[in-house]
Amino acid sequence: MAQTLSTLAYLVASVLFIMALRGLSNPETSRQGNLYGMVGMGIAIAATLLKPGMGAGGIVLVLAGLAIGGTIGTLLAQRIQMTSLPQLVAAFHSLVGMAAVFVAAAAFYSPESFGIGYAGNIKAASLVEMSLGLAIGAITFSGSVIAFAKLDGRMSGSPILFKGQHMLNAALGALLLVLVIAFVATGSPILFWLIALLSFALGFLLIIPIGGADMPVVVSMLNSYSGWAAAGIGFTIGNLLLIVTGALVGASGAILSYIMCKGMNRSIINVLLGGFGSDSGAAAGPGAGTADRAPVKAGSPEDAAYIMKNAQKIIIVPGYGMAVAQAQQVVREMADLLKKEGAEISYAIHPVAGRMPGHMNVLLAEANVPYDEVHELEEINAEFADADVAYVIGANDVTNPAAKTDKTSAIYGMPILDVERAKTVFFVKRGMASGYAGVDNELFFRPNTMMLFGDAKKVTQQIVQSLQK
Amino acid sequence: MNPQQIAVEAASISDRAALLAEHARQLAETAAPIAAAAEPFLLLLTIFLMACFVGYYVVWNVTPALHSPLMGVTNAISSVIVVGAILATGLADSWAAKAFGFIAVTLASVNIFGGFMVTRRMLAMFKKKGS
């Protein structure tokens, strides 16, 4: 295929990718959007395979790689549980990073295939772009491996901190810069691999101080990096499609990181410096600091069922704890029974519910909760005032009014769901432990709050049983 | 002014014009290789920045409910890096480059297929009330 034709094909693919993202503005158009993305990718691959100079041997090799990788990818995508989605995405990011490293290496050892010079005599500008793509790709790889290990529980979610950590990272960053400059000046293969090694180490060191609960930000950030890595490679080999797609993905990941940070009222710097939170979040002992307060009111599932049976408007507030207990299905059953009793049910989702952006929406959709019953914080917050019941399951910090009133609180300024304004608030919790921010929730002690102690799934099941009576 | 004077003036003006033209030609000659080197990069940079803006506006329009599928899709499309990998596998003479290309094709394919498939699975679950 002539050069012009393949460039044209890449242009079509870029437009299709933009349309794929555009489709996600609404669940109804999203499925078609995904299809556009697939078609775009198909066109890009076909156009590349049809370029002049592609030997039969090369094409066979490429098809073999596509078949092997495609089979593995399809199997992974079909088998993964939706609760493990964040791990899968982190693992996928690491692969993009590694692919970027290998493409950079291929361009370094065979620059003539990409028209950027000859082995040992590559254009300086291309070397700059190559080292950028290489470094970002390598950081994406090792950073994503750590994020995967933390999310998958293969490694403790608690932050790993040591003295002089940030100084070490800054020094390594400066060293990386020096290596890049030397590499551009000399084009030495040893420096190429040193840049790769140093970037691997840097990616690893950048992510280990970040706590398990901050992983939503990290996953979004690595999503962004994988885009910038693709764009860097695009500049290296002068490919328009890689540049456009890299920019789209980079922007997308950056926006998601911003949304996640805003949902926690933390700056990205604060998240990156790390040291916040642990994996389980039950750091504070049960009942800590409760001595001088009114006793909490604990209720039985039967009490809750009775109150909800007579309620008109019920808002369910699910948190990650619900997903851990695998309670989403039974929550939906409870909602169905209450709808039969004439109640209006909606779900309120905090931006940082779940372990990646939008995770909770997927988990609820999987349990057959219609998406038009699920609302974001800004949409639903005003409605708590008219609600008879707020059913908080597996969430804590995101409902804590201290975020609005207590300037000394670790979560001060974080947007919260105003469950306190509902007539009755149910908290389904295992015990009195505080959330991952380690802050007491004064809501537990309010007269309109009833605590339902126990496993999220079991408690909800018992409510379902009493509703069926 | 007599015709002779006018002729002299005209001659000197034309001389100066010729000189200027010669200067311009020399400038253009020195500038050409620089422009040729800078132009493709500037063009790519322009495309890159424009695409950043497009991405910014399109992604803010994505409904928050679909942020997980958004990550799935962006994951899949960022593997368009496979284009570079295919070029390396198919065009490179060096066996090292061919091998790197092949590994990159395989890794990126896991992502392409995995990313689009998992997104499809997610999106299939989003249903409206009563449907």
DSSP state of A298: B
Q: Do A89 and B72 touch (CB under 8 A)?
A: yes
Look up residue A302 and give its amino acid.
Answer: E
pLDDT of residue A116: 86
Q: What is the pLDDT of residues A25-58, one digit of tens each?
A: 999 999 999 999 999 999 999 999 998 888 888 9
CA A153 to CA A87: how far, in whole Å? Answer: 10
Nearest C-alpha of chain B: how many angstroms from A160?
27
Whether A179 is in a domain gets the answer yes
Please check whether residues A375 and A258 belong to one and the same domain: no
Please give the DSSP secondary-structure letter assigned to residue A42.
Answer: H
Domain match, A120 and A264 both: yes
* pLDDT reported for residue A293: 59
**A88 contact residues in B (CB cutoff 8 A):** 114, 118
Contacts of A220 in chain B (CB under 8 A): 71
| Chain B residues touching A95 at Cβ < 8 A | 79, 107-108, 110-111
Q: What contacts A199, CB < 8 A, 6 or more positions away?
A: A134, A135, A136, A137, A138, A139, A142, A176
Name residue, tokens 């990073």.
Answer: A97
- Does residue A376 share a domain with residue A261? no
Q: Which residue has the tokens 């498939």?
A: B117
Tokens of A46: 């076909």
Cβ–Cβ gap B123/A27 under 8 Å: yes
Could you say which of A397, A406, A418, A455 is catalytic?
A: A397
Last residue of a domain, one of A277, A311, A344: A277
Smallest CA–CA separation between A311 and chain B, in Å? 21
Residue pair A361/A375 in contact by the 8 Å Cβ criterion: no
Mutate to test the interface with A, among B44, B45, B56, B81 (most CBs of A within 10 A): B81
DSSP string, B110-121: HHHHHHHHHHHH
Say if residues A355 and B68 touch (Cβ distance below 8 Å).
no
Supply the pLDDT for residue A360.
93
d(CA A305, CA A462): 9
The reply to whether residue A103 touches residue B51, judged by beta carbons under 8 angstroms, is no
Q: Which residues pair with A347 in a beta bridge?
A: A316, A374
**What strand order describes the sheet that includes A449-453?**
A374-376, A344-349, A313-318, A389-393, A424-429, A449-453
Q: How far does Cα A176 stand from its chain's mean position?
A: 28
Contact present, B101 and A103 (Cβ < 8 Å): yes
Instruction: Evaluate whether residue A151 is within a structural domain.
Output: yes
The count of domains in chain A is 3
Residue A286 lies in a domain: no
Tell the residue number behind the tokens 């422009």, with chain if given. B35
* Domain final residue, candidates A35, A52, A79: A79
What are residue B68's phi and psi, to 5 degrees? -70, -50
Q: What is the C-alpha separation between A47 and B64, in angstroms, rounded?
A: 34
| A223–chain B nearest CA distance, Å | 7
Please, is A384 exposed, middle or buried when counting C-beta atoms within 10 Å of its C-beta (0-12, 13-18, 19+)?
A: buried
Q: What is the mean pLDDT of each run of 10 residues along chain B (131 residues)?
A: 82 86 82 66 92 96 95 95 94 90 97 97 90 66
Beta bridge partners of A393: A318, A428
In a domain, A24, yes or no: yes
pLDDT tens digits, one per residue of A383-436: 999 999 999 998 888 888 888 888 887 788 889 999 999 999 999 988 777 776
Residue A362 — very low, low, confident or very high, per pLDDT cuts 50/70/90? very high
- Burial label, A174 (beta-carbon count in 10 A; 0-12, 13-18, 19+): exposed
The alpha-carbon gap from B19 to the nearest alpha carbon of chain A, in Å, equals: 36
Q: Does residue A344 share a domain with residue A223?
A: no
Q: Minimal Cα–Cα distance from B101 to chain A, Å?
A: 6
Same domain, residue pair A227 and A241: yes
For residue A283, the model assigns a pLDDT of 38
| A97 or A154: which leads in pLDDT | A97
A290-315 residue pLDDT tens: 445 567 888 889 999 999 999 999 99
DSSP letter string, B12-66: HHHHHHHHHHHHHHHHHHHHHHHHHHHHHHHHHHHHHHHHHHHHHHHHHTS-GGG
Q: Based on the fold, state whether residues A223 and A130 are members of the same structural domain.
A: yes
Please indicate, yes or no, if residue A199 is contained in any of the structural domains.
yes
User: A349 falls in which pLDDT band (50, 70, 90)?
Assistant: very high
Partnered with residue A392 across adjacent β-strands are A317, A427
- State whether A40 and B77 contact (CB < 8 Å): yes
Q: Are residues A265 and A385 in the same domain?
A: no
Whether B83 has its CB under 8 Å from any CB of chain A: the answer is yes
- Among the partner-chain residues A17, A69, A247, the one whose CB lies closest to the CB of B106 is A69
Cα-based distances in Å from A277 to A158, A210, A233, A434, A438: 7, 8, 36, 12, 8
Instruction: Return left, alpha or beta for A260; rule: phi > 0 is left, psi -120 to 50 is alpha, else beta.
Output: alpha
Does residue A460 belong to any structural domain of this protein? yes
Q: Do B65 and A358 touch (CB under 8 A)?
A: yes
Angle between helix B82-91 and helix A215-237 axes, rounded to 10 deg: 40
Is B54 part of the contact surface with chain A (CB cutoff 8 Å)? Answer: yes
Q: Could you say which of A73, A245, A256 has the minimum Cβ distance to residue B80?
A: A245
- Please give the residue that has the higher pLDDT: either A153 or A61: A61
A310 and A161 in a common domain: no
Query: Residue A413 maps to which CATH number?
Result: 3.40.50.1220
- Confirm whether A14 is domain-assigned: yes
**Residues A101, A228 share a domain:** yes
Same domain (yes/no): A88, A59:
no
The pLDDT, as a whole number, for residue A289 is: 43
Domain limit, last residue, from A49, A79, A109: A79
Tokens of A257: 């990181």
Q: Do the Cβ atoms of B59 and A251 come within 8 Å?
A: yes
Of chain B residues 97-126, which have a CB less than 8 A from chain A?
97-98, 100-126
pLDDT band of residue A282 (cuts 50, 70, 90) is: very low
Q: Which residue of A31, A249, A381 is the best one to mutate when testing the B interface, meaning the one whose CB has the most B CBs within 10 A?
A: A249
State whether A160 and A260 are in the same domain: yes
Q: Please tell me which residue, A40 or A284, carries the higher pLDDT value.
A: A40
Decide if A279 is catalytic.
Answer: no
Q: Which of B62, B94, B110 sits opposite A72 (nearest CB)?
A: B110
Token reading at A309: 């049976």
Structural domain including A18 reads 1-79
Percent of chain A residues past pLDDT 70, beyond the cut: 95
Flag whether A148 is in a domain. yes
From the list B54, B77, B89, the residue facing A37 with the nearest CB is B77
Q: Are residues A331 and A260 in the same domain?
A: no
Q: What is the pTM of this model?
A: 0.87
**Nearest residue to B118 via CA among B53, B51, B70, B47:** B70
Inter-chain CB proximity A371 and B65 less than 8 Å = yes
B28 interface with A at CB cutoff 8 Å: no
Could you give the C-alpha distances from A74 to A8, A40, A236, B110, in angstroms and in order? 29, 18, 30, 7
Give just the sign of the alpha carbon dihedral A63, A67, A70, A72: negative
Please name the residue that has the structure tokens 């088998």.
Answer: A79
